[in-house]
């Protein structure tokens, strides 16, 4: 769809970025030591959690918005791909230069510009981890609510570009609900400013919302103004076992009629339970076919009252072995099972294909039951866990990395799972995004006229197709 750049789609693509004049110009912009071209050293910047390798021709570390402007103007002049990269821990290759060119790492842009406790916002650069942002505002008694599991490794810029989710969504929503304003360098090297410092702002089209989840395809985020909330005084977690996944998931809709809005509601299926138990021997009941974790936050009194109510509701709806944390330490222990899942699943194979479909939460039992059938049909191990409270399930197909046939079967499972999610009123990604990994499946969820509008918007920001090519659209 865009002006072509000569590249291939696997291995180290060679584009105009390799032109010595370009490398020299890049060094002039950011300084010699902030441009890496050595193949060994650029390699780590060519992959993310998907673990496929697309090493860039150069990695460049700008220090400022001005640096990024110059880099992008150079890219448009010489026509080479530019892919912005934060922590590089995504699950869909959003920060991976699949068509070569340069990677722009925001690692040096780590400033907290302002924390305003009175006005409840923080202004920061994109290169801080989300954890670092949370720590910084936490010192002022404030909370940045979005909490993707990767928050200690993923950068805030990447979290915004991917519109990251996490566990606290049932109460707090996703990243886009907490971004007030952005400074962005568009693909052509223009600096734009979206939104502002206030929640209310209806001046022009909402480009802030558009940038959230744009996967680095429209511009590079160089500064963000994020909404903060008062840090809740207390949290509490209740964990319970269930005799079936269906029973565990059915409880999810029982809290709202009691006026409860839990912060997090996570489920774990029997395959995850078995794997965790085998690896970590938590002493979980052999009768546990599913585990439900429910967390609440707020004032200490409110949390106590709500946690008791949650225990009662769970007990009335088939939960057993109900545990409620009485301290922060006990609460951490209850969550250990959840944290142990990902490593434990590797016992079933060397390649874990982790999808993150989403359906209206009442459809989770049907989704999970049908995914089990899909796994059986294609003789593929599958385990499900995740953010059931917002219908966002992590579906893990685990196979052997060296078994091409098994991988092909797993791919069939993935494709059928995506179709199923859309049929159930959901979609193919709740929080990981599309990247290059799911680009071929976009048509399952997005119809042609809607896709054409998205492509049109891409052309407005990036007429030369410079920025993060090979993503979202095929």
Residues 336-375 that bind a copy of itself (CB under 8 A): 358-363
Among residues 159, 66, 64, the alpha carbon closest in space to that of 113 is found at 64
Residue 174 in contact with a copy of itself, rule: CB under 8 A: yes
What's the 3-state SS for 358-388?
ECCHHHHHHHHHHHHHHHHHCCCEEEEEEEH
Q: Token digits for 145?
A: 């609510």
What order of strands is seen across the sheet that includes strand 320-324? 320-324, 234-242, 290-298, 264-269, 381-387, 392-399, 351-358
Among 193, 328, 347, 377, binds a copy of itself (CB under 8 A): 193
Smaller CB distance to a copy of itself: residue 20 or 259? 259
Smaller CB distance to a copy of itself: residue 68 or 276? 68
Smaller CB distance to a copy of itself: residue 182 or 410? 182
Residue 467 in contact with a copy of itself, rule: CB under 8 A: no
Smaller CB distance to a copy of itself: residue 121 or 397? 121
Q: Token digits for 334?
A: 């209850």
**Shortest CB 358 distance to a copy of itself, Å:** 5
Smaller CB distance to a copy of itself: residue 8 or 253? 253
Site for a copy of itself in 91-120 (CB under 8 A): 116-120
Pairing of strands 102-105, 58-60: parallel
**Shortest CB 118 distance to a copy of itself, Å:** 4
**Shortest CB 192 distance to a copy of itself, Å:** 4
Residue 450 in contact with a copy of itself, rule: CB under 8 A: yes
Residue 73 in contact with a copy of itself, rule: CB under 8 A: no
Among 287, 301, 332, 336, binds a copy of itself (CB under 8 A): 301
**Shortest CB 275 distance to a copy of itself, Å:** 25
Q: Please give the C-alpha separations between residue 317 and each of 8, 243, 273, in angstroms, as whole numbers.
A: 55, 11, 20
Largest CA distance in the chain: 71
State how far Cα 72 lies from the chain centre: 25
Among 203, 281, 283, 402, binds a copy of itself (CB under 8 A): 203
Among 212, 288, 292, 337, binds a copy of itself (CB under 8 A): 212
CA distance 360 to 350: 31
CA distance 327 to 236: 8
C-alpha torsion 365→290→339→84, nearest 10:
-10
**Shortest CB 329 distance to a copy of itself, Å:** 22
CA distance 163 to 399: 29
CA distance 461 to 458: 5
C-alpha torsion 341→437→153→43, nearest 10:
120
Helices (H), 102-221: 130-138, 156-161, 169-172, 207-211
Residue 198 in contact with a copy of itself, rule: CB under 8 A: yes
Whether 242 and 292 have beta carbons less than 8 Å apart is answered as yes
Smaller CB distance to a copy of itself: residue 278 or 443? 443
Binding mask 4-33 for a copy of itself (x = CB under 8 A): ------------------------------
**Shortest CB 212 distance to a copy of itself, Å:** 6
Stretch that binds a copy of itself, among 24-32, 83-91, 97-105, 297-305 (CB under 8 A): 297-305
Among 59, 224, 292, 446, binds a copy of itself (CB under 8 A): 446
Q: Please give the C-alpha separations between residue 96 and each of 44, 54, 110, 442, in angstroms, as whole numbers.
A: 10, 7, 21, 18
CA distance 469 to 254: 45
Among 110, 197, 333, 412, binds a copy of itself (CB under 8 A): 197
Whether 212 and 275 have beta carbons less than 8 Å apart is answered as no
Site for a copy of itself in 123-152 (CB under 8 A): 141-142
CA distance 9 to 407: 20
Site for a copy of itself in 246-265 (CB under 8 A): 253, 256-261
Site for a copy of itself in 378-407 (CB under 8 A): 387, 390-392
- Total residues at interface with a copy of itself (CB under 8 A): 96
Smaller CB distance to a copy of itself: residue 138 or 173? 173
**Shortest CB 450 distance to a copy of itself, Å:** 4
Residue 163 in contact with a copy of itself, rule: CB under 8 A: yes
């Amino acid at each position: 769809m865009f002006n072509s750049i000569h590249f291939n789609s696997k291995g180290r693509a060679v584009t105009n970025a390799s032109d010595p004049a370009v490398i020299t110009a890049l060094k002039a912009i950011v300084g010699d030591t902030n441009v890496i071209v050595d193949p060994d050293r650029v390699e780590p910047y060519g992959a993310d959690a998907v673990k496929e390798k697309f090493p860039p021709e150069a990695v460049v570390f700008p220090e400022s918005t001005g640096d990024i402007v110059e880099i992008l103007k150079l890219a448009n002049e010489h026509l080479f791909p530019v892919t912005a990269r934060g922590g590089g821990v995504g699950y869909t290759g959003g920060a991976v230069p699949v068509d070569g060119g340069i990677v722009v790492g925001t690692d040096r842009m780590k400033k907290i510009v302002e924390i305003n406790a009175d006005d409840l916002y923080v202004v920061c650069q994109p290169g801080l981890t989300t954890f670092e942002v949370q720590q910084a505002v936490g010192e002022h008694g404030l909370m940045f609510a979005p909490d993707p599991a990767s928050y200690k490794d993923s950068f805030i810029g990447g979290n915004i570009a991917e519109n990251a989710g996490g566990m606290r969504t049932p109460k707090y929503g996703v990243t886009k609900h907490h971004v007030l304003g952005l400074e962005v360098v568009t693909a052509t090297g223009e600096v734009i400013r979206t939104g502002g410092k206030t929640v209310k702002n209806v001046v022009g089209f909402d480009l802030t919302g558009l940038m959230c989840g744009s996967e680095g395809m429209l511009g590079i985020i160089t500064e963000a103004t994020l909404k903060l909330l008062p840090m809740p005084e207390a949290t509490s977690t209740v964990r319970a076992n269930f005799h079936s996944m269906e029973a565990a998931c059915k409880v999810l809709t029982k809290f709202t009629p009691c006026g409860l809005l839990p912060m997090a509601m996570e489920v774990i299926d029997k395959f995850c339970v078995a794997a965790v138990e085998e690896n970590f021997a938590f002493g979980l009941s052999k009768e546990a076919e599913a585990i439900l974790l429910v967390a609440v936050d707020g004032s200490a009194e409110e949390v106590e009252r709500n946690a008791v109510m949650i225990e009662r509701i769970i007990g009335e709806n088939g939960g057993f072995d109900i545990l409620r944390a009485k301290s922060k330490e006990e609460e951490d222990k209850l969550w250990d099972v959840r944290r142990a899942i990902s490593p434990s699943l590797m016992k079933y194979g060397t390649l874990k294909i982790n999808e993150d479909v989403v359906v209206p939460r009442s459809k989770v039992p049907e989704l999970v039951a049908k995914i089990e059938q899909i796994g059986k049909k294609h003789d593929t191990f599958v385990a499900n866990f995740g953010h059931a409270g917002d219908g966002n399930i992590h579906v893990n197909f685990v196979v052997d990395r060296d078994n091409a046939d098994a991988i092909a079967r797993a791919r069939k499972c993935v494709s059928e799972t995506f179709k199923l999610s859309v049929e159930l009123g959901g979609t193919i990604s709740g929080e990981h995004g599309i990247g290059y990994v799911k680009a071929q499946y976009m048509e399952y969820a997005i119809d042609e006229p809607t896709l054409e509008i998205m492509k049109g918007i891409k052309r407005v920001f990036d007429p030369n197709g410079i920025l993060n090519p090979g993503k979202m659209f095929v």
